[in-house]
């Protein structure tokens, strides 16, 4: 009798376990069907997606090559400009001391100073002195 009661309790427990597992199995079956539909859609659209990615990759590579080429052109232009400006600066450094020591420049400086002095003298003499703060 103990064996019969034990088997009966075990049978009821197994039946309850099966009853509780049915909704889980139904939900699992629905999830598998949804995954199958999603997988079919993805497989159908994947070639188009890959083609678009390939086109994007090609366009990026072309753009990068063009930008690199333009940067190299600009770099060579800037290098040439730098060399020209260095030559001009060297020429100015060589010529500037000679011009500063020339008598013509001294004469121009003295003439400007004399003109300013005469202008100030005439302003003071005529009473038109500027007020300075």
The tens digit of pLDDT for each residue in 18-56 reads 999 999 999 999 999 999 999 999 889 989 999 999 999
Cα(97)–Cα(90) distance, integer angstroms: 12
Cα(4)–Cα(16) distance, integer angstroms: 18
pLDDT at residue 128 in the model: 72
DSSP type of residue 88: H
Cα(81)–Cα(87) distance, integer angstroms: 10
Cα(59)–Cα(117) distance, integer angstroms: 72
Average confidence (pLDDT) over 51-72: 95
Cα(72)–Cα(63) distance, integer angstroms: 14
Max CA distance (Å), the chain: 145
pLDDT at 102 over 80: no
**CA angle in degrees (0–180, nearest 5) for 9-10-14:** 115
DSSP type of residue 130: P
Cα(59)–Cα(43) distance, integer angstroms: 25
pLDDT at residue 61 in the model: 96
82, two tokens: 């730098």
Measured in residues, the chain has a length of: 133
Average confidence (pLDDT) over 113-121: 92
By percentage, how much of the chain surpasses pLDDT 90? 62
pLDDT at 1 over 70: no
pLDDT at residue 103 in the model: 81
Average pLDDT of the residues of the chain: 89
Most confident of 31-35, 101-105, 120-124: 31-35
């Amino acid at each position: 009798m103990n064996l019969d009661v034990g088997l009966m309790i075990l049978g009821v427990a197994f039946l309850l376990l099966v009853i509780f597992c049915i909704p889980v199995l139904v939900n699992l079956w629905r999830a598998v069907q949804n995954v199958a539909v999603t997988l079919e859609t993805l497989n159908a659209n994947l070639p188009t997606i890959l083609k678009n990615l390939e086109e994007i990759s090609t366009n990026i590579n072309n753009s990068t090559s063009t930008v690199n080429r333009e940067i190299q052109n600009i770099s060579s232009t800037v290098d040439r400009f730098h060399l020209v400006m260095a030559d001009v600066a060297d020429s100015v450094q060589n010529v500037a001391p000679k011009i500063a020591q020339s008598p013509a420049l001294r004469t121009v400086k003295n003439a400007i100073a004399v003109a300013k002095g005469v202008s100030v003298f005439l302003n003071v003499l005529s009473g038109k002195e500027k007020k300075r703060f």
